[in-house]
Each structure stands twice: as C-alpha cells, then as structure tokens.
Amino acid sequence: MDFKLEIAKLLAVAVPMELEEAFAAIEVPPNTEMGDYAYPCFKLAKVFRKAPPMIAAELMEKLEKPDFIDEIKVQGAYLNFFTNKSVYVSEVLTEVLKKTYDFGKSDIGQGKTIVIDYSSPNIAKPFHVGHLRSTVIGNAIYKIYEALGYQCEGVNHLGDWGTQFGKLIVAYKKWGSKEAVEEGGIQELMRIYVKFHDEAEKEPALDDEARGWFVKMQDGDEEALSLWKWFYDISIKEFERVYQMLGVTFDAYTGESFYNDKMAPVVEELRQKKLLTESEGALIVDLEEEGMPPCLIIRKDGGTLYATRDITAALYRKNKYNFEKCIYLTALDQNLHFAQWFKVIEKMGYDWSKDLIHVPFGLVSLDSGKLSTRHGNVVLMEDLLNQAIAETQKIIQEKNPQLPDKEKVAKQVGIGAVIFNDLYNNRMKDVVFSWEKMLNFDGETGPYVQYTHARACSILKRAQNPLDLEDISYSLLTDDVSVEVCKLLEQYPAKIKDAANKLEPSIVTRHLVDIAQAFNKFYHDNPILSSEDDVKKARLALVYAVKVVLSSGLALLGISSPEQM
C-alpha cells in the first residue's frame, strides 16, 4: 500500500481536487508527534475564502477514516494523519521482503534512453583527484536511472584531441625520448607537458609550433597521428587501472577524436542555415541577442574547438541513441561553454536541445589547495585510493586484526569512503578531503553505513536458523524506534526517484545515513537474539530488510557492502 497515495485519494474526493495535486501537497512532518503525514490547507484559503485552520477542521469532518489510519487531527492549518502502526509496519516490511534487492526499483523509464557523459579525463595527463567528482557522480546517476528502468549509455568523452596534443608532440621532440616515455609512461608525458608550458612562457613561438602540429593531426599527417595514437594507448592503460579500482565502467569510449571526420558536415549545416559569421578570420555563431559571447566554431588557422566537437557529438548521439536526455557531468566553471553550444543546437532548429542537460559540480581539493595539471601540482587518483586503503588497513589491524579477507575489506571500505565522501554533500558544494572525517566509523560516512550493514549481517548469521519470513507478527514492531526504521525504508523508493529528477546522488547517500542511524538506535533499544521467539522473528525480519536496503543503496552509489568488518 502506498499510504501517501491512499491519503491523497481521500483528500481528492473531499476537497475536490486533482489526485496529482493532492499527492504533491502531502508532507511528512518533522516529528511523529505531528503525525505520519500532513496536508497543509494554506492554498485552499483563496479557493474557499476562509482561514486555513477552519478549512482543516471542515475537511476532517468530511473524511471517512479508513482502517489504515488510527487518527486524523487538526493542528493549526494542517490536517495530520496518524497511521495504524501495525498495518503500516506490515505493509512496508512485506513489500521489502517480497522484492528484496529489487525494492526501490521501477520501470518508469522503460523504453527510454539516457546518455550520460562523465569522467572524460585528458589523454596523456595523469588521472588525478580533479577527475574524481565527474566519475563518481556520473556513475551514481547512471545506476540510479538504471534502477528506474531506463536504458543507460555511459560515454567517456575522452579529451583525446586538440591543441594540447600539438604541445605534447613539440615537447616530445624537444625534450623527450622513446625510451623515457616507454619507461615512465604517463608520468613522463606529464613531465614534458609541464616543461612545454614553462618554456612557452619564455618563448611564445612554441605555441604557434604546437598549433601547427595539431592542424597536421587534423589533416591526417602520418607522423603526427602515430605519435598521438601512442600517447593515447599509454593513457588508456593507466585510466583503466583506476576505473577498475573505483568499480566504474563505460559503454563507449568515444572521445573528441572520434568526431574528427564527422565535423565537416556539421560546419556545412551551420553555414547552410546562415548561422556562421566570420570574425577576425575565425568562424563564429553570434549569440549577442542571447546575452552570451560568440560561440567559436573554426579558428582562423582552420582548427576546430571543443564547441565544434560537442555539437557534432550531440547530433551523433541523438541519431544513434534517440535519447530522452543527454546529461553532461563537468565542473561548474564550464557553465558558459555548455550554455553557448546548447543554444547553437537550438538555433539549428532542433527542439531536442531542451533535453541536453549540463550537471555542474563544485571543486575537489586536499588541504594543500586547488589542483592544476598545467603546473604539475596534482594528486594522482591512484595514490589517493591506495592511501585510503592503507589508512583503512591500519584501522582494521587496530580494531579487528582477525578479520577474514582483510585486504579485500580494506579496499571496499577505503575506496567506498572516498566515493561516499564525494557523494554525501550536494554536488554544487566543494569537496575537501579529510582522512579523519572520511574514515570515521561513527560519523556520517561510508564506513559507518558499511559497518551498519555488516552488523545486520552479523545478527542474521548469529541467529543460526534459516531466516523464516513467513507468518510474522508485525504488531510486535509498533514501538517508536521500529516504526521509525520502517518509515525510512518506505521512503527509499521515493528518494531514488527524487535523486534522478534532481540529478543529485546525495539524496540517496544521506538517506542511507538516516536508515543506518535509525537502525543502530533500534539495535541499541531492542534485544534481538535474546527476545522471545515471536518477537525475535519479527525483529530479525526488520534486520534483514535494513541489510537489503543498505546494500542496494550503496550499490547505487558504486560502493560495496562487506558482510564482515
């Protein structure tokens, strides 16, 4: 039973109003003394020309109290509904136990495709902490939409084309060697790239030389392309190792280079539609009327730009996937870039431009401050993850040295802590790493939620008998703490939908913390294994439901759920 929906049906008849309107207005009060659900009557004041408290009182008289409601009370302008605890707990837990790991999933997205463009590191540069946010937020959004029945297509739009490769070729020819690159890999490429920027500040002609090499790449020059391909292969090998650690996969690695032979028809289409204007030798789309700087399409030396490739990629994806939405995960400082080329797609006459969505996020930093590849001031993602694992190993050694599979658990907890820390706050907030906070087993952290899951597994294991989920006396779970856990479990499917609508994984992350906190209070207040058989059976059913939802929720975030910690 969807209690909120059933209450909305009662209200829709009594007011009368549309069911959707009644459903949207129903709230969950901040504390249980105010009821389990509440309907505010403020909006009805204009319709009925009466004070909201009077409307609430009149409404209460009209409503026929169903069996699943114990009491309806008027409190000020609110009509408060108190559910029958026994019916409520029975409905919620029966649903979780029936669906188990499918609880919270739905088919609302069936037959619809969502393209998610995330991670997208630059080739020939190390995978550093700055790439973490796009990678883990994108991965979580992918899994959240997938749980709602959408066909998801995860695209890694690698930064594998552009002037930076001209710079790298110049740097390699001047200060690199085949042996050094083969031995040092991406670190050596990084070294010569940083050197190029240091030298170009003293000798600006190096930038022109770099642009020349990029034009050669675009024109299919054999030497330029073979060097580019070599740098590409070295980078992908490095990236894959980090993705494996994070448990992240992609459906396509179609980076910028993939669109090199697809841009000319798009530029021609812009020309045919009279959208291109020449400006100082370059070709632009004028966006002055839209209050934006012009969108640069072709540079004066004939080179293409990010916008050219992004417009081409969007047209290609619409044609290939016929997406419902195409979501782009990048830092907040790219807002203008996306606004410009989204507007160009609109000007081209494509009404699906409204389905292109830029999902921005704040910066990630360590205590040492902001990160920059150009000057070599980076913290490598692999080093950060290894450090998280090492810190976790120390904690395990101190707290539970006999733990089986210590190394595996340290990886699951350490890497989970990094991901959870990133996904816990609203994505627009900047993320700062603090090992002390991140690996805290008592705070609002990944290890805390994982530990709660492990605790539930431990209780079920110690119960020994196969778990019997038939004929449970749900009336034995009507105490406040048990009901609170059930309330949070019931809200879980709505939280997944809310996270998808707002493209905000922190909604799920924070809800898991709430469930874990409520469950630990339940565990503290209610003896489980030592209680009488009927009570024990009912409480074990609740423990099992919590274990299932915590594990499912962590999986949506791309985090493992160890059974022992």
297 within a domain of the structure (yes/no): no
Residues 519 and 465 in one domain: yes
Residue that terminates a domain, selected from 36, 63, 83:
83
Of 104-108, 320-324, 461-465, 536-540, where does mean pLDDT reach its minimum?
Answer: 461-465
- Give the three-class secondary structure for 292: coil
Note the pLDDT of residue 377. 59
- Are residues 143 and 74 both part of a single domain? no
> Which domain CATH number covers 165?
3.40.50.620
For this structure, is 375 an active site residue?
A: no
Q: How far is 309 from 187, CA to CA, in rounded Å? A: 28
CA distance 85 to 484: 10
Residues 127 and 178 in one domain: yes
In this structure, is residue 22 part of a structural domain?
yes
Residues 166 and 79 in one domain: no
In a domain, 476, yes or no: yes
Report which of residues 1 and 176 the model is more confident about.
176
Residue-wise pLDDT for 510-554, tens only, equals: 999 999 999 999 999 999 999 999 999 999 999 999 999 999 999
pLDDT digits (tens, 9 = 90+) for 379-427: 788 888 998 999 999 999 999 999 999 999 999 999 999 999 999 999 9
Contact 160, 271 (CB under 8 A): no
Read off the pLDDT of each residue in 318-326 and give the average, rounded to a whole number: 98
Q: Do both 198 and 149 map to the same domain? A: yes
CB atoms within 10 A of CB 48: 14
Residue 139 CB neighbour total at 10 angstroms: 27
What pLDDT does residue 498 have?
97
Q: What average pLDDT does this structure show over 241-252?
A: 96
Q: What is the pLDDT of residues 174-227, one digit of tens each?
A: 999 999 999 999 889 989 999 999 999 999 999 999 999 998 998 899 999 999
What is the per-residue pLDDT across 121-179, written as a single tens digit (0 to 9) for each?
Answer: 988 888 888 899 999 999 999 999 999 999 999 999 999 988 889 999 999 999 999 99
Q: Are strands 356-361 and 282-285 parallel, antiparallel or unpaired?
A: unpaired
Residue 44 belongs to domain with CATH number: 3.30.1360.70
Residue 133 CA to residue 425 CA, distance in Å, equals 12
> Which residue in 534, 533, 524 sits closest to 482, CA to CA?
524
Instruction: Establish if 317 belongs to a structural domain.
Output: yes
Residue range(s) defining the domain that contains residue 7: 3-83
Q: Are residues 188 and 74 part of one domain?
A: no
Query: What are the pLDDT digits (tens) for 78-88?
Result: 999 999 999 99
State whether 445 and 527 are in the same domain. yes
Tens digit of each residue's pLDDT (9 = 90 or more) over 280-292: 999 999 999 999 9
Longest dimension (CA), the chain: 86
Q: What is the pLDDT at residue 206? A: 96
- Summarize the confidence of residues 557-563 as an average pLDDT: 98
Residue 379 lies in a domain: no
In a domain, 272, yes or no: no
Domains of the chain: total:
3
Per-chain mean pLDDT for the chain: 93
**Residue 149: CB atoms within 10 Å:** 14
Q: DSSP alpha helices (H): ranges in 247-380?
A: 263-272, 306-321, 335-347
**Would the pLDDT of 99 be above 90?**
yes
pLDDT at residue number 33: 87
With a cut of 70, say whether residue 373 has pLDDT above it.
Answer: no
User: Within this chain, do residues 337 and 432 fall inside the same structural domain, yes or no?
Assistant: no
Final residue of a structural domain among 346, 365, 384:
365
As given in the structure block, the two tokens for residue 463 are: 């119960």
Q: Is residue 282 part of a domain?
A: no
Q: Catalytic residue among 4, 128, 411, 487, which?
A: 128
Q: What whole-number distance in Å separates Cα of residue 543 and Cα of residue 453?
A: 9
Query: Looking at the structure, do residues 359 and 217 belong to the same domain, yes or no?
Result: yes
Domain identity same for 416 and 502: yes
The pLDDT score that the predictor gives to residue 376 is: 52
Provide the pairing of β-strand 113-117 with 325-331.
parallel
State percent of the chain over pLDDT 70.
Answer: 98
Same-domain status, 356 and 405: no
Closest CA to 212 of 223, 201, 202, 197: 223
Question: 131 catalytic, yes or no?
Answer: yes
Residue 119, pLDDT above cutoff 70: yes
Mean pLDDT of 39-64: 93
pLDDT on residue 367: 63
Asked if 63 and 126 sit in the same domain, the reply is no
Would you give the DSSP letter of residue 128? B
**Structure-token pair, residue 329:** 């995960």
Final residue of a structural domain among 365, 388, 409: 365
Burial class (CB in 10 A: 0-12, 13-18, 19+), 125: buried
> What is each CA distance from 245 to 128, 253, 371, 531, 554, in whole angstroms?
14, 18, 22, 42, 16
Q: Where are the alpha helices (DSSP H) in 203-257?
A: 205-218, 222-246
233-246 burial: b if 16+ Cβ within 10 Å, else e: ebbbebbeebbebb
Contact 367, 433 (CB under 8 A): yes
The whole-angstrom separation of Cα 4 and Cα 139 is 31
Asked if residue 13 lies in contact with residue 25, where contact means CB atoms within 8 angstroms, the answer is no
The CATH code of the domain that includes 499 is: 1.10.730.10
Residue 27, by phi and psi: left (phi above 0), alpha (psi -120 to 50) or beta? beta
Once rounded to an integer, what is the mean pLDDT over residues 441-459? Answer: 95
Selecting among 4, 85, 125, 143, the annotated active-site residue is 125
pLDDT of res. 390: 93
pLDDT grade, residue 371 (50/70/90)?
A: very low
- Within 8 A by CB and 6+ apart from 378, the residues are 126, 128, 129, 130, 371, 372
